[in-house]
Amino acid sequence: MERYPIIGRESEMKELRQCTTFARFHCFNVISVSGIAGVGKSTLVRNLFCDRILNGQLFEAYGWVDVSHPFNLRDFSRSLLLDFHSESLRANETINHGTIRFRNPIGQCRDFLDQHHCLIVIDDLQSKKEWDLIKAALLSRFSKS
């Protein structure tokens, strides 16, 4: 995992680090980073994401999902599960000739999130409707994520 220095955005990186730490210890489920396309939101968040994975023990699991369009909750959940379990699943994928199957990816994803403190980045989410579908399906009141 490579990190690239972010020049001139140190204050924004510091703010993102503080937000994730605060969210983790105060049981906040969501931090939103929004803005105009092309200003570097994903780059900032990717840098933070890599920093948290490489340097921190704040979270038990990390996931990054690029939202497909049109949005499909089943595909979203499958992508997130693949990212959470990428090491073990890559080995199984080789054994199973490239076919990884989840019987119930939405339920399995919800169960995983209920049991682990996770940092998840959802990139390219385009509407509140998409977020509402994700939230209703995957985040329970008792989720650790």
Tell me which residue has tokens 């990816």. Answer: 105
pTM of the shown model: 0.76
DSSP per-residue letters across 78-112: HHHHHHHTHHHHHHHHHHTTT----SSHHHHHHHH
Q: What are the residues facing 119 on neighbouring strands?
A: 62
| Domain locations in the chain as residue ranges | 1-58, 59-145
Q: Which amino acid is at 53?
A: I
pLDDT of residue 2: 56
Q: What are phi and psi of 69, to 5 degrees?
A: -130, 125
The CA distances from residue 92 to 63, 96, 106, in Å, are 19, 6, 20
pLDDT in tens, the chain (145 residues): 555 667 788 898 899 888 888 888 887 777 888 888 888 889 898 888 888 887 767 788 888 999 999 999 999 999 999 988 875 554 554 445 444 567 899 999 999 999 988 888 999 999 999 999 999 999 875 555 6
Cα dihedral across residues 27, 77, 135, 47: positive or negative: positive
Question: 108 near 74, Cβ under 8 Å?
Answer: no
Cis geometry, peptide bond prior to residue 70 (ω within 30 degrees of 0): yes
DSSP tally for the chain: helices H, then strands E: 6, 2
